[in-house]
Homo-oligomer: A and B are copies of this chain.
Amino acid sequence: MPTIRIAIDASGGDYAPSEIVAGAIDGARQHSIELILVGRSEQIDEQLLKHDTKDLAIEIVDAPETIEMQEDPAQAVRKKTNASIVVGCELVRDHRAEAIISMGHTGAGMIAGLFTFGRLPGIDRPAGIVPYLGFKDTFMIDVGANTEVQPKNLLQFAIMGSLYVERVMGIPNPKVGLLSNGSEPNKGNAIGKQAYPLLAAAKLNFVGNVEGHGVTHGEANVIVSDGFAGNIALKLGEGLIDEVLNQVEHAAVPIDDKLRGVLAKLRERHDYARIGAAPILGINGLLFIGHGRSKAPAVVSAIGLAVKSIESKLLEAIVEGLKGS
């Protein structure tokens, strides 16, 4: 099998380029892949000098523009044709790399991916799937892109999410649940109630509606939601975990070394920025977008996800999976 080649957006993220390049190098070595680093080439050169990379195959592709957080993503993607995320996606489209990873602007990444790759056959709307804040074996799809959905979108999210979690995360026959306000099939908003029978009839391990507390209690591996409620659930969870751990810390002042260690471990476990990156599912190419606060270990982990997605032929599996639906 020829060596896998992955493109990394070296200019995207709060800690770019240093942490991104460092993580890319570690990841390339750990996963035996070839790298294309996309970004400001002089900056990348400068970073590479800090590392021993003689054993690695690293190509640099100059892409001097970046898309800033405050820019309108659709406009910026169209205008800045030399932005690292745009050039990175084109490398995948042109078969020079098999996946692109970016810790930059999420919206710009999604739009660059959609514009460059188009959608997979059978998909109306792409969606992001994320591990739910470090809660073991729990993933949520969608978490922001699609504030309005139709029942068929939720069905497509469910099929894509289930295949990703099974093939890439290694959870056999994943439980799929529909985020709702009650566990009975007749609970939910209008769209959810229409989606329920579609999910129940699909080739999925559908466990029915999952209420808020079911998310953290492991009721499903894939929590299917519109991007509005999913985004609220994700950010609310981030805020709550942070707040509750802070409350423990404050209530226990002066805290001893043992509790300090426990809290540090839990903060790390639930830190969204450490998770690696999330794939945008439903576009016709492999794109992984991580948290802006990602450091080198998140890049290593993202490379692992990309490699598994490539090796398990995730995109082909999704196209096949959608045929029956």
Q: Which residues of A contact B (CB under 8 A)?
A: 135, 144, 147-148, 179-182, 188-190, 192, 211-217, 226-229, 231-245, 247-248, 251-252, 258-259, 262-263, 265-266, 269-270
Contact = CB atoms under 8 A, between A and B. Distances in A.
Contact of A232 (B181, B190, B252, B270): B181
A240 to B, nearest CB: 5
B228 A213 contact: no
Number of copies: 2
A258 to B, nearest CB: 7
B258 A235 contact: no
Per DSSP, are chain A's interface residues mostly helix, strand or loop, or mixed? helix
Contacts of A251: 262, 265-266
A228 B189 contact: yes
B248 A266 contact: yes
Contacts of A234: 212
Nearest to A237: B240
A262 B266 contact: no
Contact of A212 (B188, B237, B262, B270): B237
A147 B189 contact: yes
Contacts of A233: 212, 232-233, 236
Residue among A216, A226, A232, A242 with most chain B CB within 10 A:
A232
Nearest to A211: B235
Contacts of A265: 251
A209 to B, nearest CB: 11
